[in-house]
Structure 1
Amino acid sequence: MPFSSDGNRNFPISKFESMLKTNDVYFFDADDFEDIIHHYLDLGKVALAKKAIKIGLEQHTSSTNLKLLLIEVLIFENRFDTAERMLDELAALETSNEEVYIQRANIYSKKDNHAMAIELLKEALVYAEDHADIYSLIGMEHLFLDNYSEAKDCFIKCLEEDPQDYSALYNIIYCFDFLEDHDGAITYLNTYLELNPYSEIGWHQMGKQFFHKKMLKEALAAFDFAIISDDTFVGAYLEKGKVLEKLGRYNEAIENYELTLGLDDPTSFAYLRIGKCHEKLGNDNIAKQYYYKTVHEDPLLDKGWIAITDFYLKQYNYQKAKYYINKALNIDSENIAYWKRCAEINKELHLYEEADISYQKTIELGNYELSTWTSWCDILIKIGEFDSAVHIMLQALEFYPNEALLEYRIAGLYYTLSDGIKGRFHLKNALADNYGKHSILKELFPSVFGRQTVKNIITDFKKASI
């Protein structure tokens, strides 16, 4: 359980820390030691938690709960043999202690034996008075096994035990989403909301399901109910704003996004969406200011840098676009979307060598879209790197076999390199793949297209196909 911050409960902690500093020995109740240990574990201060456990067991040698906390730490440190020996000792004394089964299950889970963990947790259910946490643990084990339907059923039982356990509700909807059962999720949420009509989380999740199904009016109503249930629920305003954007009601969307700025710390997402709405309304100067706020609030949000770069691209202000995409690349040099835009900008600025490097980086990072390959090839053609262009197109052909856009380029390149045999081979492949696109040859290689031998191949192919 999370450690309370009130003064009475903080006193044992300050007293314990004073003891550590002075080397004095103070006596604490076993319950106090449990609170101290939980406090340090919640903060991730395992070393201090272990000190508290050691001293606690020295003062309360028979405390089962302190022993279980030690076992929990041992499991965390993967010291399974020692933990299991202690569990064997506890099991001999307390056969009906559900925590013994839970910790055994924890060991099996960490060993990736999730099926055995589930069986042990089911045994724990027999002895436990509060089943909610155990159902949640069983659900998580099923998730490890990709048993989403079984996991969903466990989380539903967990929520039935504790209707305010919103983590269980989120997990239920996660399972429905993974199973792509949005209708099932809506049916379940309707049942849940009949019993909990003022659950802002329930309405929020309902709205997201309707949004996924493009039932925008229903989604809007659900988010309104979420806001009625809690008028400070930032997530509901953000989702409502997204729906209003889809409906083209940009001014109303802006109002909802702006409300979130006053309810909590401003988010880069809200700034970005406000900027997008203003851009749709033609308020370019205001949009630009919000894009600046977006990247200032969160320099790691790639959508912010992309938005401001695209803003300047639409205005054909390539110098400004280049300035901002370079700033983005200085922050994240492994972002494919940045490099694609960098290549496009360099191409528009006729900086073909830089565009070549940008396209190369885009491919190296794993972007194998057809347009990336062809655009890179066209840049190499512009700078006369015909051998490199052939190499690139042959690579692309491995990803896109029988693709005319590639074959026509390869044919033109081989003819340019005076390799008529290979040029003719790839030209015939291209014509067979898509005769109608032979204009590509004329656009990229006009001198090749003008050759009589090439015209004859194209004409003969057309005659043969009639």
Structure 2
Amino acid sequence: MRNCCLVTAVFLPIFELMSHDFPSFNEFNEDFEDLRDLLQQFENLKEGRSHSFLDEDSFEQIIDYYDEHDELNNAIQAAEMAIEQFPFSSQLLLKKSSLLIESKKYKEALDILEKAALLDSNDINLYILKTDVYLALNQHEKAARLIENHIDQFSGEDRTELLLELADVYDDWEEFEKVFDCLKMVLEHDPNNVEALHKICFWTEFTGRNEESIRLHNNIINEFPYNHLAWFNLGTAYQGLKLYEKAIDAYQYSVVIDEKFDYAYRNMGDAFIRLRKYNEAIEVLQKHLEIAKPEDVIYEAIGHCYERMHRYTQARYYYRKAVHLSPTDDKLYYKIAVAYMLEENWENAVKSLQSAIKINKQSAEYNMSMGGCLLELQRNKEALGFFMNAVRLRPSSINARLELIRGLYASQFYEEAIEQIEFAESKIGHKPVFIYYRAAILIATGKSKEGLIQLETALQMAPKLLKKMVELDPSVLQHPSVVDLIGQYRKKK
């Protein structure tokens, strides 16, 4: 789960603004005047003109001003002049090293940091800045060892910050198991740390360490039962183990604590879908839509639920809402087409498939579906074109080959159908389904004896695939010899 930030623009009436303890205009004006005065004094110092004494705090304000306004050269110059006056200030040395890192002067930055360490080795920023240098130089092992060797000298928030920094080092180093370990240590030390709770959710899924996550978050919940993120992470860990009922229970606790926790509704909806509880899934996904910005994936999921419930009109309604948000997503047009195909509404299915194929011409699946719809509309010549496209796009696909043979059979191009079977077998191998299709073609062309031999061979190889031949041509069961052969085979079995 990625960290999310909800930004809300609120326009308060004047009397409400006045009721808050905001700095007055005069205070803002005084601060601005003070800063302007400091900058002028610094300019005088640079030019060798008379100036008031600048103390350490004043220099820090000047350095920060130039840094914030992307005037790195001025910021570095201010830092250097400050250090000349205050050579034993570790804070000024750290500020200069930070500016050098921004300027990609890593060796100089390290030299400054070594001097700062002699003055104050207990400043957490010393180790964070050194880590930044090592990462910039692609020296991940040095960065990790630095933090590991000094972390025990820190406690409280500083220790938490260093552990999170170490997690980032391991992430950059692609030592993903150790990222999880660091975040676990953070939460054992600081169970309510929001950043760690957000991050460990993703890394639990990524590393598959769901059992550990369950133990960790149960411990947190036992101590802090109203931690909605801990309940959510517990749910995702259960969901990772496909324990969907337990996942739903955890998500429900999460939304009781924070009824506007949209991620919990989203995941709960997914868990209900996995359990095929589509009404419940729709209910929680609708709740997600009420409290969060509409998303195509949520509309698509609701459409999927209605499709599974055979309520195709509602399914298409939500798929179209998803399309409105994501008009270039070909998969959504295909889902609309499928909802029409399930109702045997071939004309409208073709229209939706045309939209999908216009966006993605390289989908064999779309081409096969279009061919199937056109075949149902008896537009056989057009259908064959799409089936041939599917074979060209996926020459190793059995389904694409079978659809082309089916199209040729329906068009009574029997010789071409046999040729395609032989060609498919040379590319893919001698599959039983091809033998069933060959049997059907031979029987349809009056070569019943040869067809029965092929059928018997196919029955011996894969009796369950008999339905494929029946789907190709149900009338094949009207041949007494075919029925007798199938009956004899079943008796033998």
TM-score greater than 0.5 by the shorter chain:
yes
Is the CA contact (8 Å cut-off) linking 2:300 and 2:319 kept in structure 1? yes
Change (3 A) 1:229 1:408: same
Q: Which has the larger Rg?
A: 2
1:310 and 1:286 mapped to 2: Cα distance? 13
Out of 197, 214, 217, the residue aligned to residue 245 of structure 2 is 217
CA contact (8 A) 1:135 1:158 kept: yes
Distance 1:293 1:131, change over 3 A: same
- Runs of 5+ consecutive residues of structure 1 not aligned to the other structure: 19-24, 39-48, 76-81, 417-422, 447-454
Contact kept in structure 1, 2:208 and 2:240, CA below 8 Å: no
Does residue 58 of the first structure (1) align with residue 80 of the second (2)? no
* Corresponding residue number in structure 2 for 1:396: 428
Cα distance in 1, alignment partners of residues 472 and 239 from structure 2 = 45
**Percent identity between the aligned chains?**
19
Quick one: structure 1 residues 175 and 266, their matched pair in 2 at CA, closer, same or farther if it must change by over 3 Å? closer
Aligned residue in 1 for 2:151? 125
Of structures 1 and 2, the one with the larger relative CO (CA 8 A, separation 6+) is 2
Q: Counterpart amino acid of 1:56?
A: A
In 1, the alpha carbon distance for the partners of 2:101 and 2:387 equals 51
> Is 2:102 the partner of 1:102?
no
- Cα distance between partner residues in 1 of 2:166 and 2:176: 12
Residues 271 and 395 (structure 1), Cα distance of their counterparts in 2 relative to 1, 3 Å cut: same
Distance change in 2, residues 1:160/1:435 (3 Å):
closer
- Counterpart secondary structure, 2:344: coil
Change (3 A) 1:436 1:200: closer
Structure-2 separation of matches of 1:435 and 1:254 = 41
* 1:311-330 Cα distance to aligned partner (Å, 9 max, x none): 11111111111211222333
| Amino acid in structure 2 at the alignment position of 1:375 | E
The answer on whether the counterparts of 2:210 and 2:237 sit within 8 Å (CA) in structure 1 is: yes
TM-score when normalising by structure 2: 0.65
Match of 1:30 among 45, 60, 83: 60
Q: Would you say the 8 A contact 2:357–2:366 is kept in 1?
A: yes
Secondary structure at the residue paired with 2:293? coil
- In the alignment, the residues of structure 1 paired with residue 294 and residue 77 of structure 2 have an alpha-carbon distance, to the nearest angstrom, of 50
Q: Which residue does 1:46 correspond to in 2?
A: none
Q: Assess if the C-alpha contact under 8 Å between 2:330 and 2:359 holds in 1.
A: no
Deviation at 1:230, TM superposition (A): 0.8
State the Cα distance separating 1:91 from its structure 2 match: 3.7
Give deviations 1:92-125, integer Å, cap 9, x for gaps.
412342134302331344xxx5444422443463
Judged with a 3 Å threshold, the aligned counterparts in structure 2 of structure 1 residues 428 and 301 are, in CA distance, closer, same or farther, namely same
Aligned match for 2:400, one of 372, 375, 380 = 372
TM-score by length of 1: 0.69
Asked if the contact 1:309/1:321 (under 8 Å) is kept, the reply is: yes
Alpha-carbon offset, residue 368 of structure 1:
5.2
Partners of 1:163 and 1:201 in 2: how far apart? Answer: 10
Distance 2:364 2:434 in 1: 22
Instruction: Judge which range, 99-108 or 27-36, deviates more.
Output: 27-36
The residue matched to 1:315 in structure 2 has which SS? coil
User: Given that residues 235 and 247 in structure 2 are in contact (C-alpha distance below 8 angstroms), is that contact kept between their aligned partners in structure 1?
Assistant: yes
Q: 1:154 to 1:393 in 2, by over 3 A?
A: same
Tell me if structure 2 keeps the 8 A contact 1:318–1:348: yes
Instruction: State the one-letter code of the partner of 2:297.
Output: F
**Aligned residue-pair number:** 416
Cα 1:181–1:102 change in 2 (3 A) is closer
Change (3 A) 1:182 1:314: same
Pair 1:323-2:351 in alignment? yes
Shift, 1:296, TM fit: 0.9
1:93 aligns with 2:122: no
Please list every run of 5 or more consecutive structure 2 residues that lacks an aligned counterpart in the other structure: 10-21, 37-42, 46-57, 84-91, 445-450, 475-481
Take 2:210 and 2:338, find their aligned partners in 1: how far apart are those partners? Answer: 34
- Decide whether the 8 Å contact of 1:71 with 1:86 is kept in 2: yes
